Amino acid sequence: MLQDDYILRQIREMVRAVMKMLFQVSASELTPDVIEDKEARQTLETLTSLADEGNIDEAENKLYEMTCDGDRQNLEIGLLFYYALNGKDDEFLEANDFSREEIMMGIQDLANRYNLSGIAEAFRTEIL
């Protein structure tokens, strides 16, 4: 449990730091509203709705397809998706066969796709 709390905080702070560095977003709570583009915001809401319904793998697959093109807007969507997913409680994640470690790995994969592996490595946990 302590390990999950540590990962939860680490993910939250990592996403906040990257959002601030790359997108100049410094909101205290990262919600879809921080995305200015209406279509991109809707895409994020669609992905998070899928996750809310327990279709986390499907949402991740859609995110992966979106982020293969290198569009920076999709990086922002991906970071906010994982931030929202990280906000779910442990019971929800467990019930949907997902973990905080998988959230961290998803963020790291996302960072690698955008050639930001150095940023992801700076936040890498020893448990992964």
Give pLDDT tens digits for 9-51. Answer: 888 988 998 899 899 998 778 999 999 999 999 999 999 999 9
Per-residue pLDDT, 5:
80
Q: Give the CA distances from residue 122 to residues 33, 63, 93, 112, 128, in Å, rounded to whole numbers and listed in that order.
A: 27, 23, 25, 13, 13
Give 48 or 127, the one with higher predicted confidence. 48
Give pLDDT tens digits for 59-103. Answer: 999 999 999 888 999 999 999 999 999 999 999 999 999 999 999
Give long-range contacts, CB 8 A cutoff, 24+ apart: 39-42.
40/73, 40/74, 40/76, 40/77
Per-residue pLDDT, 126:
46
Predicted structure pTM score:
0.89
- Residue written as tokens 């020893």? 126
One-letter identity of residue 107: I
